[in-house]
Amino acid sequence: MRPDLVDLAYLLAAILFVIGLKGLTRPRTAVRGNMLGALAMLFAVVATMLHQDIISWTGLLIAMGVGSVLGVVLALKIEMTAMPQLVALFNGLGGGASVLVAGAWLSGKEFSEKLASGNGFMDALTATAASGLIGAITLSGSLVAFGKLQELKFVKDISFPGQRILNLLLALGSIGVGYLMVVQPENAQLWFWLLAITATTLGVFLVISIGGADMPVVIALLNSYSGLAASATGFVLNNNLLIIAGALVGASGLILTRIMCVAMNRSLWAVLFGKMQSGGTMLSDDEVYANVKSTSPEEVAMMLEVAQNVLIVPGYGMAVAQAQHTVRDLTNLLLKKDIAVNFGIHPVAGRMPGHMNVLLAEADIDYDRLKEMDEVNAMMDQVDVAIVLGANDVVNPSARTDPNSPIAGMPIIDVDKARTVIVVKRSLSPGFAGIANPLFAADNTMMLFGDGKQAISEVTKALNEG
Amino acid sequence: MFVLTFAVQTIVEELPVVVETLEKTAEATDGGANHLILLLTVFALAVFLGVEIITKIPPTLHTPLMSGSNAISGIALLGAILAAGGDNGTWAHMLGYAAVVFATMNVVGGFVVTNRMLAMFRTRK
C-alpha cells in the first residue's frame, strides 16, 4: 500500500480513538467507546501490515498471535481485585515495547542511511533518546509497582539514606548519556543501551520506596509515561498516529495523577520523593483509644433495622477481604426493607483510581449508588448509619481538626458527622499514614472487630433473622 | 498546572534541536514548512484534546479509563511491526519481534479487560 494511503488509514484511526475516548465519559456509551478504540487499533495494524516496507508477514503474525493469546488469557483470568497489578503490568509492556522499537530503529536501515547521508537526524536522535528514557522508566517502574501490588516476596520497600541523591544522579546520568547519543551518532547504539540501563535503574529506585496508599498516584503517572513514550517513538518514526494516541494517553494519565494528588492533599513531588512527615503533637494510641466501644453483628443488625439511610464507605480492606459480594447481599437485603443505601467512594480508596467502583460493579451493585466524596459529605447529616469497611485514613477526622497531623488538609469522607458510625476492622492498627484515628473512639462510633467479609455476612444473617 | 509544567518541559527539551533544525531547514528550504514543527503541533493539539475529553470522565469509570488508555498506548505496536517486518537486519528484527509480542499483549489484553470491566457497569431500572 502506498504510504499516503497508510497515512489516511492512520488519520481514520486517530479520529476513532478520539471518539472512543469520548464514549468513555458515560457508563452507557463506554462499552461502545472501548470497542471503537479496539477497532481503530485494528485499522492501524492492518494498514501498517500493508505498508510497502513490510517484506515478511509470517513472523509478524506468529508474534502477534503469541501476544494476543497471552493478553487475552491474562485479561480473562485476572480477579477484579488484582486489576491494579494487571494495569501496571500492561503499562510496563507498553513502555518496554517503546524502548525496543527505538533500539530497533537505531540498528535499522533508515538510521544507517541517515547516518551515511550525514544530516537531518538530530531531531530523530533526540526523540530516540526520549523514547528510551521514558520507556525504560515506565518498564522498570511498572514492574516494581506490579511486584508491590502482587506482594511478591522479593520486592521489598527499600529506602536508604542518600536515595534522593542517587535518583538525582541517575536522572542526570540518563540525560547526559542521552546527550552523548545525540552528539555522537556513530556510537548511538552503545549510548542508547547505556541510557536504557540507567533509566531502568532509575525507574526501580523511584518506585521501590513508594508505599501502598500512594500507589494510585504512581499507577496513574506510569500510565501517563507509557503514553509519552509512545509519543516519543512517534517522533522517531515520523508517525502522527503514535504521536496523537500517545499524547491522548499522556494527558489522561496526567489528569488522573493530578486528581489523586489533590485527593491526598500532597504534591506529586512529595509522593515521589518525600516521606510522610510525622506530626508535631501526636497523641499516643492509649490516649486516643481510651473510649473505644466494640459491638456485635446482632447489635449492628438492630441498628440497621431502624435506619432509613445507610452509607457504606469501602476501602482497600474490602478488596483484601474480597468482601464485595457479601456487601452486595447486605445492600440488597436493606433495599428490600426500604432502607436507602449509598456508597461513599473516596478518590484514593483502593490501589488505583476507580478501584472500588470496579469491585462494586463486579458485585452487581448499581453504579447510581456509588457517590463521590463531595456528594456524600453534603448529605452526611441525613445518614443514620455509616459503615466503614476497610477504609482508615480517608475517614480520619484529624485531617480536618488537627493542623499538625501528617494528613492535615486532606479531603476526607466526614462519616463522623453521621448519626452512628460502624467501623469494620480487624484491630485498632493504624492505616498507611501510621497515625491514630480519633474516629474509632468517637461517641457515635462503634467498632465491629473481625474480617470484613465474615463480619458483613454475620450482620446480614442477623438482619435476615431479626 | 501539570499540563503547563509538562509543556514547558517538552519545549525546553526540544528547544536546541528546534533551533538547529530550523536554521538548517531555513537554509535548505528557503523558510518552508518544517517537519518537526508539524509533528510538535500535532502533539500539542492532541494533548489539549486529551485533557478536554478526559476531564469529563466520571470517577466511577477511572479504572476502565486507565486500562483502556493503556491499551491505546500499545500503539507502539505499529513501530514494532515496521521494525520486525521491514528490511532491517537480524538485530533489529529480534528487537522488533520482542516489541511486537509485548505491544500486542498490552493492546489486546488492555482492550479485553476494559471490555470485561465495562460490561459490569449497569443500572437496574
Tens of pLDDT, residue by residue over A405-460, are 888 889 999 999 999 999 999 888 877 777 889 999 999 999 999 999 999 999 99
Per-window interface: B 66-105 vs A, CB < 8 A = 66-89, 91-93, 95-105
The b-or-e profile of A381-414 (16+ CB within 10 A means b, else e) is eebbbbbbbbbbbbbbbbbbebeebbbeebbbbb
The owner of cell 492509649 is A286
What totals of helices (H) and strands (E) does chain B contain, helices first? 5, 0
- Please name the amino acid found at residue B112: V
> How much is the pLDDT for A270?
80
Inter-residue contact A25 to B57 (CB < 8 Å): yes
Superfamily of domain A285-465: TPP-binding domain (3.40.50.1220)
Q: Which helix (H) or strand (E) holds A372?
A: strand A370-372
Reading the block at residue A410, the C-alpha cell is: 486532606
Residues whose CB falls within 8 Å of the CB of residue A377, separated by 6 or more in sequence, listed in order: A344, A413, A414
**For the packed helices B35-54 and A3-23, what is the interaxial angle rounded to 10 degrees?**
20
Reading the block at residue A56, the C-alpha cell is: 515478511
Does A393 qualify as catalytic in the annotation? yes
Reading the block at residue A160, the C-alpha cell is: 536508604
> How much is the pLDDT for B10?
58
DSSP bridge pairs for A385? A310, A420
**Closest partner CB to A67 (pick from B57, B105, B113):** B105
Burial of residue A160 (number of CB atoms within 10 Å: 0-12, 13-18, 19+): exposed
ipTM of the complex: 0.89
> How much is the pLDDT for A120?
63
> How much is the pLDDT for A108?
87
- Contacts B11 to A, Cβ<8 Å: none
Q: Which conformational region is residue A458 in: left (phi greater than 0), alpha (psi within -120 to 50 degrees), or beta?
A: alpha
Quick one: what percent of chain B has pLDDT higher than 90?
A: 58
Cα A116–A119–A122 angle (5° rounding)? 110
Parse chain B into domains and list their residue ranges.
Answer: 1-56, 58-125
> How much is the pLDDT for A279?
44
> How much is the pLDDT for B20?
64
> How much is the pLDDT for B31?
42
> How much is the pLDDT for A421?
95
pLDDT tier for residue B125 given thresholds of 50, 70 and 90: very low
Q: Identify the closest residue of chain B to A45 by CA–CA distance.
A: B78
Q: Give pLDDT < 70 ranges for chain A.
A: 119-120, 274-286
Q: For residue A118, give Cα distances in angstroms to A115, A186, A382, B25.
A: 5, 10, 74, 14
CB contact under 8 A, B83 and A35: no
As a whole number of angstroms, the distance between CA A35 and CA A29 comes to: 10
Q: For residue A262, give Cα distances in angstroms to A87, A258, A267, A412, B66.
A: 22, 6, 8, 11, 18
Q: Measured between CB atoms, does B10 come within 8 Å of chain A?
A: no
Inter-residue contact A454 to A420 (CB < 8 Å): no
Inter-residue contact A242 to A234 (CB < 8 Å): yes
As a whole number of angstroms, the distance between CA B122 and CA B82 comes to: 40
Burial of residue A449 (number of CB atoms within 10 Å: 0-12, 13-18, 19+): middle
Residues whose CB falls within 8 Å of the CB of residue A442, separated by 6 or more in sequence, listed in order: A397, A416, A421
pLDDT in tens, A126-145: 999 999 999 999 999 999 99
* Alpha helices by DSSP H, A265-354: 268-273, 285-288, 297-305, 316-320, 324-336
- Please name the amino acid found at residue A106: L
Polymer length of chain A:
466
**Closest partner CB to B92 (pick from A107, A250, A345):** A107
Inter-residue contact B53 to A22 (CB < 8 Å): yes
CA neighbours within 13 Å on the CB side: how many for A217?
22
Q: Which has more confidence, B97 or A284?
A: B97
* Alpha helices by DSSP H, A156-279: 163-183, 188-208, 215-237, 240-264, 268-273
- Contacts B125 to A, Cβ<8 Å: none
**Closest partner CB to B104 (pick from A25, A68, A233):** A68
Inter-residue contact A172 to A133 (CB < 8 Å): no
Interval B84-103 mean pLDDT:
93
pLDDT tier for residue B29 given thresholds of 50, 70 and 90: very low
Reading the block at residue A182, the C-alpha cell is: 545525540
As a whole number of angstroms, the distance between CA A345 and CA A311 comes to: 10
Helix or strand or coil: residue A446?
Answer: strand
Task: Return the DSSP state at A349.
Answer: S
Helix or strand or coil: residue A413?
Answer: coil
How many Å lie between the alpha carbon of B24 and the closest alpha carbon of chain A?
A: 8
* Alpha helices by DSSP H, A297-417: 297-305, 316-320, 324-336, 355-362, 373-378, 398-401
As a whole number of angstroms, the distance between CA A380 and CA B42 comes to: 46
Residues whose CB falls within 8 Å of the CB of residue A332, separated by 6 or more in sequence, listed in order: none
